[in-house]
Structures are given as C-alpha cells and as structure tokens.
Amino acid sequence: MKKIVYLLLAVVLVALPLVAACKAAPSPAPTGEPIVLKALSFYAPGTPSAWPIETFIEQVNERAKGELIIKYLGSTEVVPSPQMGPAVATGVIDVLMHAPGWMDKPLGVPIIKAGQFRDTTKILPYELREMGFVDFMNPVYQQANLFLMGPAAAYLVFNLFINVRVKTLDDFNGLKLRAPPDMVPVIEALGAVPISVPFPEVYTAMERGTVIGFISTITGFVPQKHWNEVTKYTVREPVSGAEQVIVVNLDAWNRLPEHLQKIMIDTQIELEQVGLPAHYRAVVELDERLMIDAGVEFIDISPPGALTELSLRVLWDNMIEVEPELGPKLRELMTK
C-alpha cells in the first residue's frame, strides 16, 4: 500500500513541471513595477492541503515573468478563518483558498457552499467545470465581490469519526456530535444532538467526552491533528463531499490586464486536470494508512449508501429553502 502511495506522490512531483510547462500564455516584457497580489489560505503553508494554493501561486508567478507577483502571506495567523471571506471581499487580501462552507454566512451568500453537495470521489474538479459549475457560480460569487477561479480539491469527503461502534443510522439517535455549522441539519436528521465546538477544540472535546463523535475530513488526521489519540472509529461512507476553492477579489481581478487573467485561468484549469486528482488521491490514501496504523478502525453501516443519501437530501432541501430560485437550478446542473 505504501508503495502505491509513494508512487502516486511521485506522479504528482513529475506532473508539476509538465503542468507548468504546457500552455503557458505569452507575456510581454514587464515594464514598471510589478502588480502584487496578497494571498492567504485556511491551511497552514507546507501542509498537504495547502499544496493547491502554493502550486497555483508558484506557477502563476513563473508564467507572469515579473509582471505579476502573488505573495503567499500564510494562514489563520494572519487573518482568523471566519474573517478570511470578508477580508478578500473587501480587498484586505487579494487571493484566498478556503472552504466555501466557512465563507457563506460572513459573505451573506449561502449557495456558494453547494459545491460540496456531491460525491467528490466521482465528480472531479475538471468535470465540475465541464458540467458548468464554475460558469454558473461565478456571478453568484461576484455578488460578494469575488471572482471564482475554481475548485481546489479532489477526493475529499466529510467523514464521521466516532467512539462508539454504529451499525445503522438508528444507532446515531441521541449521540452528541460536533459538526461544522452547515452540517447541523444532517446531525439533527440522524436523531443525534449537535454540539457547538470550535474546530481547534475538537481533540479536547473528544478527550473529555463532551462529544462522542465529529464530522470532518481525514487530511492531517494523524500527523497534524493527532485525532487518532482520541478516536476509535471512522465511518467509511462519506457524509458529503468536502470542497475548497480559490477566489480573487473582484476589483483586483478587473484591474489585471487580460493576458495576466488568462495566465491565472489557464493555470487553474491545468491544476484541476492534472495536479489536484493525483495529489489528493495520494494524500487521502496516505492519511487512511496512517489512521489504520495508528489503530483507528474503519467501519461500515447498513444499508450501504443510506448515510450519504440522507445527508445530501437534507443539505439540498435546506439550500433550496434558503435559495428557492438558484438552488433547484444548481442541483439539476450537478446531478445531470
């Protein structure tokens, strides 16, 4: 298994120079001072989840040949996560990679998180673009003064991690579970009790028994978060897809010359086609192996598919209630 993971990681490393080399948009020789854009990510620099924004920035800077420089400032140590969406919308920063579920409420645009309402193991980023998702959502993002570059993850899902063995959906009844705010309706639909716990305090809440389980992704589960120390089981079937996107402040985007915009769009598309699937397939497989080696057991519940089906139905129903005009159109687009 580890040989397969390392082979996939090698594929990513080999693919990067190929991606950077192909289809580079021609740029005129730079004149005057370069355009500088400031970038942030929810994920700490150097971690696997920060790889998309770091690769995007590196390739754009190389292709722009000094005309455009994107400076990666860091993560939550620069701007707290809940404030990142407003920061990029108001131009405090210019480029952001973040999960839409963290940006929808601060920006007042609930539907932007709907990209995660899909099976992200089957619908990959480039397929999402081909389905028309990016074109459909860009006017929505622009309402918040953002330009949507595109998705920045693949194969990521929200799983349920828990300290009691569950076999059916009925076994969740009455259990105290921590979840991101947009997953609270799913917790309630399971008959469980949603408990509000800040993300950095998940470890302590599980350790103390404040919650018996939580919903999150597996990225960094062992090496960064050490959740294996307080978690017994992972429900293998996903709750829903997990998404992150790269966005640019709309005013900053509109000020860019067309050839620089093209460099950024071409780089994003190539990242979706080559880099993201290979990178995240390797990351997910490695994280799963580390979890198993650390003693976390993957368990199945019956009937198969019931958890994902329930979750997506609840998430879409809630979205359509909030967005009665755009919600049905987006669901049709993403399920056709």
Question: How many whole angstroms separate alpha carbon 24 and alpha carbon 38?
Answer: 22
The pLDDT tens digits of the residues spanning 199-256 come to 889 999 999 999 999 999 998 899 989 999 999 999 999 998 888 899 999 999 999 9
Structure confidence at residue 199 (pLDDT): 85
**328 vs 122, 165, 193, 322, CA distance in Å?**
21, 36, 29, 11
The pLDDT tens digits of the residues spanning 86-114 come to 999 999 999 999 988 778 877 878 778 88
For residues 24-31, average pLDDT: 45
Closest CA to 215 of 173, 175, 244, 187: 187
Question: How many whole angstroms separate alpha carbon 236 and alpha carbon 169?
Answer: 13
* Fold match between domain 16-152+243-282 and domain 157-241+286-335: yes
Domain assignments of the chain as residue spans, ordered by start? 16-152+243-282, 157-241+286-335
What phi, psi does 330 have (nearest 5°)? -70, -40
Q: Which stretches of 157-279 are assigned E, i.e. beta strand?
A: 157-162, 176-178, 193-195, 213-216, 233-241, 245-249
pLDDT at 10 over 50: no
The pLDDT tens digits of the residues spanning 245-291 come to 999 999 999 999 999 999 999 999 999 998 899 999 999 999 999 99
Structure confidence at residue 335 (pLDDT): 79
User: Is 3.40.109.10 the CATH classification of the domain at 16-152+243-282?
Assistant: no
Question: How many whole angstroms separate alpha carbon 58 and alpha carbon 248?
Answer: 16
Q: How confident is the model at residue 17 (pLDDT cuts 50, 70, 90)?
A: very low
Structure confidence at residue 114 (pLDDT): 80
Tokens for 36, please give them. Answer: 């500088």
Question: How many whole angstroms separate alpha carbon 24 and alpha carbon 263?
Answer: 7
* Cα dihedral sign, 103-108-109-114: positive
Structure confidence at residue 31 (pLDDT): 58
**How much of the chain exceeds pLDDT 90, in percent?**
66
Structure confidence at residue 3 (pLDDT): 38
**How much of the chain exceeds pLDDT 70, in percent?**
90
Question: How many whole angstroms separate alpha carbon 55 and alpha carbon 236?
Answer: 30
* Parallel, antiparallel or unpaired: strands 95-98 and 35-41: parallel
User: Is 2.30.30.240 the CATH classification of the domain at 157-241+286-335?
Assistant: no
Tokens for 295, please give them. Answer: 């003693």
Q: How confident is the model at residue 14 (pLDDT cuts 50, 70, 90)?
A: very low
